[in-house]
């Protein structure tokens, strides 16, 4: 059983001074990487730049302290940008705070109920679809700042932003485009020169210097936003029932996204350091981190794969590195935040272009479209399109429903029922490999044997119960060795078969009933109706039972 114990408490038993030094260095480097990203993601989310740092500081510290991973780095991520921007546009910062608190509570409950392993059942087509969709929405959302366009409206939806870009294309600012292009070039080329210092930091410094020295006319963070270097303070939102009802879908989406992203990041980190995370503890930590992030002016947070990987590559091996990362960002916020006003908006757009590209997994998307079954492609494309055209809430809801329906159809397609009766020498060569094959058994006269394969559920119940019974049949054996599970609909159909058999004075015998179907029968009292003597362990005993029953009936008739 997985422990509900923070990894920090476990690793401290064998902690050394050497590792402490490595964790400090890794934490500082990750903070430098997180600085421009946190600001950029805050702006992409429709909030002021310091709120991105509040998130990385508060949520980053709490999630590292209580988390179930040794090296997880948490903070704002691109996955939340579009949904956060939508919540802020509709309900303001107070609405976002309430939705994030609700999501945090959901995550804690999921962790306490041991749902950590269940999140892996979200289909890969859905996560790939909405991830690619989020990347596209981020890219579209940054076209305005990259080109320096002037909008006459304030579009909120992604399609509206794209339309506004086309309508305003004549307002393009060549100077802004030049700064954006230089920034993008630095972000692409710099990692090939030096992979220790993040390219985003170099792009920010160089672009800000160019704008300041040459007095280039482009929007900067300072010209659009009021910069605050104040540390995060407690801000308790006003909560009412109507707000809770309105924000419930958004809160659920934040919780699911935070859970998926954080556990995915943990799995990647496990592979890098040869460790094993505690998924349920990580969910609880994510919940606590999001609650406190919102209470201290932040936005939703989750595990950041790129920052976590950077932590590992720079020697971080314990949660201390994540806590150092948060403390470093706090010091930067207090001391250096006013300088963030100099960062050009086209540079922020270029950083987010790279974030969108790196998170898009477009190669995986194309591969799935080329090589997957049509049904999976439908789920993938639908989730992607709905994310871009509408929002993430609708995309996930529709995607999961589609995937569930298609899964049930597949299960119904593979489920079947085969019947045998008394036939002499009816053994095919292919059947010889299975010593338990019914064709190798001697089926008594006046006996029918049906073998059911696959789960018995409402999607396939009619197929299982499509049993034809001749007038001379005295015993029907249902062999259920290949039925791992059944639902109430299938049990109802099975009950109808038993009643039909009773009406025709036929004995129904069940052979090799597995654990879950047997429990369901016992709970419904069906085992008593059919008779305990007629639920048999294996097919050999079931065939013997058929002979006994018929001999008994012959004796009575004589």
Over residues 452-476, mean pLDDT: 77
Is the per-residue pLDDT at 516 higher than 70? yes
Q: Give which of 467, 456, 537 is closest to 506, Cα–Cα.
A: 467
Percent of the chain residues past pLDDT 70, beyond the cut: 93
CB atoms within 10 A of CB 446: 18
80 secondary structure, DSSP code: G
Burial class (CB in 10 A: 0-12, 13-18, 19+), 426: exposed
More confident residue, 264 or 285: 285
Q: Is residue 224 part of a domain?
A: yes
pLDDT digits (tens, 9 = 90+) for 278-303: 999 999 999 999 999 999 999 999 99
From 298, 333, 361, the end of a domain falls on 361
How many domains does the structure of the chain reveal?
2
Q: Give which of 152, 162, 141 is closest to 46, Cα–Cα.
A: 141
Quick one: pLDDT at residue 461?
66
CATH at 472:
3.30.750.24
Quick one: pLDDT at residue 264?
86
Q: Give which of 267, 263, 306 is closest to 286, Cα–Cα.
A: 263
Q: Which residues pair with 418 in a beta bridge?
A: 451
Average pLDDT over all residues of the chain = 90
pLDDT digits (tens, 9 = 90+) for 377-406: 999 999 999 999 988 878 988 998 999 888
Over residues 451-466, mean pLDDT: 75
Q: Is residue 401 part of a domain?
A: no
Is the per-residue pLDDT at 51 higher than 50? yes
Q: Give which of 429, 387, 441, 309 is closest to 34, Cα–Cα.
A: 309
Q: Is residue 8 part of a domain?
A: no
Q: Is residue 43 part of a domain?
A: yes
Do 350 and 421 belong together in one domain? no
Quick one: pLDDT at residue 466?
64
Please answer whether residues 110 and 68 qualify as being in contact, where contact means their C-beta atoms are separated by less than 8 angstroms.
no
Do 325 and 261 belong together in one domain? yes
Instruction: In whole angstroms, give the CA distance from residue 382 to residue 397.
Output: 11
Confidence of residue 210 (pLDDT cuts 50, 70, 90): very high
Confidence of residue 557 (pLDDT cuts 50, 70, 90): very low
Lowest pLDDT segment from 79-93, 113-127, 356-370, 528-542? 113-127
Is the per-residue pLDDT at 419 higher than 90? no
Residue range of the domain that includes 474 = 416-557
Q: Is residue 36 part of a domain?
A: yes
From 334, 361, 388, the end of a domain falls on 361
Predicted TM-score of the model (pTM): 0.80
Please answer whether residues 343 and 207 qualify as being in contact, where contact means their C-beta atoms are separated by less than 8 angstroms.
yes
Q: Give which of 205, 474, 481 is closest to 343, Cα–Cα.
A: 205
Quick one: pLDDT at residue 391?
83
Instruction: In whole angstroms, give the CA distance from residue 391 to residue 269.
Output: 30
Quick one: pLDDT at residue 99?
97
Do 532 and 430 belong together in one domain? yes
Do 237 and 321 belong together in one domain? yes
Q: Is residue 290 part of a domain?
A: yes
Q: Lay out the sheet containing 535-536: strands in order across.
A: 416-421, 447-453, 475-482, 507-511, 535-536
Quick one: pLDDT at residue 558?
31
Do 324 and 427 belong together in one domain? no
Burial class (CB in 10 A: 0-12, 13-18, 19+), 102: buried
Q: Is residue 133 part of a domain?
A: no
Q: Is residue 66 part of a domain?
A: yes
238 secondary structure, DSSP code: P
Quick one: pLDDT at residue 427?
47
């Amino acid at each position: 059983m997985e422990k509900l114990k923070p990894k920090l408490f476990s690793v401290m038993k064998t902690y050394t001074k050497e590792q402490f030094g490595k964790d400090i260095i890794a934490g500082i480097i990750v903070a430098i990487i997180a600085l421009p990203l946190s600001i950029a993601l805050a702006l992409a989310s429709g909030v002021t730049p310091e709120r991105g740092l509040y998130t990385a500081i508060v949520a980053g510290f709490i999630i590292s302290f209580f988390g179930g991973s040794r090296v997880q780095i948490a903070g704002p991520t691109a996955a939340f940008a579009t949904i956060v921007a939508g919540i802020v546009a509709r309900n303001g910062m107070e609405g976002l705070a309430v939705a994030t608190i609700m999501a945090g509570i959901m995550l804690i409950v999921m962790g306490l109920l041991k749902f950590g392993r269940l999140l892996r059942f979200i289909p890969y087509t859905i996560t790939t679809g909405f991830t690619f969709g989020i990347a596209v929405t981020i890219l579209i959302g940054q076209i305005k700042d990259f080109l320096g366009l002037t909008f006459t409206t304030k579009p909120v939806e992604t399609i509206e932003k794209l339309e506004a870009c086309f309508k305003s294309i004549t307002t393009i600012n060549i100077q802004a485009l030049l700064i954006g292009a230089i920034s993008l070039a630095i972000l692409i080329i710099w990692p090939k020169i030096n992979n220790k210092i993040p390219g985003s930091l170099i792009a920010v410094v160089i672009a800000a210097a160019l704008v300041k020295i040459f007095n280039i006319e482009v929007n900067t963070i300072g010209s659009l936003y009021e910069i605050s270097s104040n540390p995060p303070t407690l801000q308790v939102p006003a909560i009412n029932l109507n707000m809770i009802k309105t924000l419930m879908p958004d809160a659920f989406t934040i919780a699911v996204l935070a859970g998926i992203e954080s556990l995915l990041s943990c799995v990647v980190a496990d592979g890098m350091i040869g460790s094993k995370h505690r998924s349920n503890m990580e969910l609880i930590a994510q919940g606590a981190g999001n609650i406190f992030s919102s209470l201290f002016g932040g936005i939703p947070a989750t595990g950041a794969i790129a920052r976590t990987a950077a932590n590992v590559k720079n020697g971080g091996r314990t949660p201390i590195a994540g806590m150092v990362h948060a403390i470093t960002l706090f010091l930067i916020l207090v001391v250096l935040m006013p300088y963030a006003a100099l960062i050009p908006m086209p540079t922020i757009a270029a950083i987010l272009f790279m974030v969108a590209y790196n998170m898009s997994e477009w190669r995986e998307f194309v591969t799935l479209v080329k090589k997957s079954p049509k049904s999976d492609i439908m789920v993938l494309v639908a989730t992607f399109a709905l994310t871009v055209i509408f929002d993430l809430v609708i995309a996930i809801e529709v995607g999961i429903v589609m995937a569930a329906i298609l899964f049930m159809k597949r299960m119904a397609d593979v489920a079947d029922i085969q019947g045998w009766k008394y036939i002499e020498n009816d053994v095919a060569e292919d059947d010889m490999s299975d010593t338990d094959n019914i064709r190798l058994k001697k089926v008594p006269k006046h006996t029918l044997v049906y073998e059911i394969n696959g789960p018995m559920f409402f999607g396939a119940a009619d197929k299982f119960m499509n049993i034809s019974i001749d007038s001379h049949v005295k015993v029907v054996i249902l062999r259920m060795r290949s039925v791992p599970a059944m639902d109430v609909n299938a049990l109802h159909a099975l009950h109808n078969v038993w009643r039909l058999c009773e009406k025709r004075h036929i004995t129904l015998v069940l052979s090799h009933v597995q654990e879950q179907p047997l429990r369901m029968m016992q709970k419904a009292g069906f085992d008593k109706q059919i008779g305990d003597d007629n639920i048999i362990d294996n097919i050999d005993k079931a065939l013997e039972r058929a002979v006994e029953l018929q001999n008994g009936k012959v004796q009575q008739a004589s």
